[in-house]
Amino acid sequence: MDGLGGLNQTPNGVIVGLLQLSKADVTTSDDLRHSANRLASFVHDVKRGRPNVDIIVFPEYSLNGASKSLSAELQCSLDGPEIGVLRDACLKANVWACFSFMELNPGGNPFNSAILVSNEGQISLHYRKLHPWVPAEPWAPGDLGIPVCEGPKGCKIAVVICHDGMFPEVARESAYKGAELLIRIAGYSSSLRHQWHLTAQADAFCNLMYTASVCGSSASGPFGGMGQAIVVGFDGVPIRYGSDKENELVTAEIRPDLVREARRTWGAENNIYQLAHRGYVAVSGGVSDCPYTYMQDLVGGRYKLPWEDEVIVKGGASSDTPLPDVDENAALIIEATNENLPCTPNWSPLEAQCASAPREDKPLPVVSEATSYAEAGGNLPPAPTAPACSS
């Protein structure tokens, strides 16, 4: 139950509004300014029409459009005027919102980014898309990890973007860092409708968390986005569906308190706990080793598929966008050598264990942990530098 799409809100409920907004058409800096004002107007319109909505979620490409332009004048920065307009709208409307934007990157191609803005107009979360939709997207891969912040009524929230959701590791990382709600914003067309629903449900069930996902939608043209907003309960059962209607608002109530209860009390299918407590009936406390070769190899800089050399598409770009050079500052993995282990921000204990697990080819050094986003007090972090490795 979700109170008829949140029309009847319970005391512990958080009302999420997913807006299937059509993508902006942005080709000039004036277009970008008008687009920001358009999103601000929607913030006020939604809050007037549904005063109990706690958080409004806008789809990918809703601010900068989907031109994939690399022009600096069509990108945004956290302290720029466009983001300022959106923050002001949330403050005046007294509502949280999730926004997509293309972020200026002085060191390389733009980042495909998202922010969560609080009802006080503060940026509570800043995320950069980890997995650009290659070979079509030219965006630099994200370098901030997956931050989690505390949102309305204490709900712990992570945000991912489009193709990120096709990697189960992304959802697991979000939940591992405490997320009770995973927001996914996208620009997919109907070619991936089935996979969109499938991953929304699997990410929820496998991690005991809600997922709330929305694509942009357009009434004209075959590639305007499919809409198809979906909210899934922590048991993997969909709560609310959207259609392909342009600018449709899909609302649902979620209950973060029930996520906390399930994670604490479930025995059967408490999978995120059981991952590191295998067979705890037979073995006291369960086995907590890392038996997954791909995890060990990825952390150790040795990830290679059995068919790696046969993969045909290993680069590419849209017809009007030249392939970018790899920017060493945008890469998460740095200096993979026989002596040094590549470092990333926010190592989890499981990753550190995998990293230090002995392998037949060579021993691996232990990785130091970086301060997490939450431990930093929820303040907006700067672009992280890789922590030092010790052997």
Cβ proximity of 339 and 362 under 8 Å: no
Q: In one letter, which amino acid is 228? A: Q
Element holding 230 (H helix, E strand): strand 230-232
C-alpha span between 254 and 234 (Å, rounded): 9
Q: Phi and psi at residue 201, in whole multiples of 5°?
A: -75, -45
Among candidate residues 23, 60, 68, 173, the one labeled active-site is: 60
308 tagged catalytic = no
Query: What 8-state DSSP symbol labels residue 163?
Result: G
155 tagged catalytic = no
User: Of 312, 317, 359, whose CA–CA distance to 338 is shortest?
Assistant: 359
Cβ proximity of 241 and 230 under 8 Å: yes
Among candidate residues 23, 129, 156, 177, the one labeled active-site is: 129
Q: Give the contacts of 5 (CB within 8 A, at least 6 positions apart).
A: 240, 250, 251, 252, 253
Q: In one letter, which amino acid is 193? A: R
246 tagged catalytic = no
Beta strands in 26-155 (DSSP E): 55-57, 96-103, 111-117, 123-128, 149-150
Among candidate residues 155, 162, 215, 354, the one labeled active-site is: 162
Catalytic residue positions?
A: 60, 129, 162
